Amino acid sequence: MSKSDLIIKGDSLPGMPWEDRPQGCKEVMWRFSKNPVIPRNIIPTSNSVFNSAVVPFKDGYAGVFRCDDTNRRMRLHVGFSKDAIHWDIKETKLEFVCDDQEIGNFVYAYDPRVCFIEDRYYVTWCNGYHGPTIGVAYTFDFETFHQLENAYLPFNRNGVMFPRKINGNYAMLSRPSDNGHTPFGDIFYSESPDMCFWGKHRHVMSPAPFEDSAWQCTKIGAGPIPIETSEGWLLIYHGVLHSCNGFVYSFGSALLDLDQPWKVKFRSGPYLLSPQKDYECMGDVPNVVFPCAALHDPESKRIAVYYGCADTVTGLAFGYIDEIIEFTKKHSII
Ligand code: BMA
């Protein structure tokens, strides 16, 4: 493939956040010079704001943010922004509307993803229901959020939808887990005809062998909404290494088959980003970079990834989609 043959799907977004690659930088992705883009105390009651999801909305951006409060309870908050850098986050937590109190009974909520499909924004998050599972809701306006059935049985985390139906069904990646700080984890794929019943479960990928790619040898989980390209679905995912000091979270990239996304075509051996800056290595949980959202512009091939840093603040990293695809293919461990 020559670079110019690459097709990237999505609406154009020329005004998305961007900074050119710093001089002398040889890395595929680089950090925003003003990181962290969202401080931990952006609202009076927040202990930390991280692992959050942003999308283009009207003439600006909207987001669902993980704001752990000063009781250290995990909560979601809605925010709006003109430039996707300066955020106005509501001080009151997001309240879901749900007809069924069994499902609507709020316990905790964290690690949201937001995906626009057809006419609405779907939110998936780690929802407390006898342990973590994947909560699902939709909104048209980021004011009212209609909560649907949980997608899976507990325990599950990292529910990430595809931005269009596949094989006529809604499609989601997820990561079955346990009720604690799961020391294992593979990514699976599921389909649903109606956003209520999820099935056709397929295995996508396991942690990598330690000898091949140690940053992702303990567990892995999908990050932002996959981006459709002519080379396959570009998936940015986190991977975990269990060191003598605990878990270390980095992120890398894979290309999934367009029609059968459980088939992995390429998977990066080296990471795209690992915890190296002070704000990624110091905080409530040291040594964590955890991506949950990305903005991209198909014409310029630019991507901006939002990632949680040390479970405390939110960072932004930039790259070019064609370069990330080339990197994924060139350094693939498959
Ligand atoms: C995972 C989730 C994430 C968190 C990560 C590191 O299990 O809880 O929200 O960023 O651990 O603590």
Tens digit of each residue's pLDDT (9 = 90 or more) over 108-162: 999 999 999 999 999 999 999 999 999 999 999 999 999 999 999 999 999 999 9
pLDDT at residue 21 tops 70 = yes
Q: Which atom of ligand 1 is nearest to the CA of 181?
A: 7
CA distance 298 to 305: 15
Average pLDDT over the chain, rounded to an integer? 97
Q: Which atom of ligand 1 is nearest to the CA of 177?
A: 7
Ligand 1 neighbourhood includes 223 CB (under 6 angstroms): no
pLDDT digits (tens, 9 = 90+) for 232-242: 999 999 999 99
CA distance 189 to 280: 29
pLDDT digits (tens, 9 = 90+) for 27-38: 999 999 999 999
CA distance 205 to 313: 29
The protein residue whose alpha carbon is closest to atom 10 in ligand 1 is 311
Tokens linked to 54? 């942003």
CA distance 76 to 190: 25
pLDDT at residue 106 tops 90 = yes
User: Nearest 5°: phi and psi at 281?
Assistant: -105, -15
Ligand 1 neighbourhood includes 87 CB (under 6 angstroms): no
Residues contacting 306, CB < 8 A, separation 6+: 37, 52, 53, 54, 224, 291, 292, 293, 294, 295, 314, 315, 316
For residues 174 and 159, the answer to whether their CB atoms sit within 8 Å is: yes
Closest CA to 66 of 230, 309, 333, 319: 309
Counting ligand 1 atoms within 8 A of each CB, the residue from 285, 287, 289 with the most, and so the one to mutate, is 285
CA distance 63 to 314: 12
Q: How far from chain centre, in Å, is Cα 177?
A: 17
Ligand 1 neighbourhood includes 285 CB (under 6 angstroms): yes
For residues 245 and 302, the answer to whether their CB atoms sit within 8 Å is: no
Counting ligand 1 atoms within 8 A of each CB, the residue from 47, 67, 111 with the most, and so the one to mutate, is 111
CA distance 259 to 280: 36
pLDDT at residue 309 tops 80 = yes
The confidence score (pLDDT) of residue 1 equals 53
The protein residue whose alpha carbon is closest to atom 3 in ligand 1 is 111
Could you tell me which residues are beta bridge partners of residue 229? 8, 232
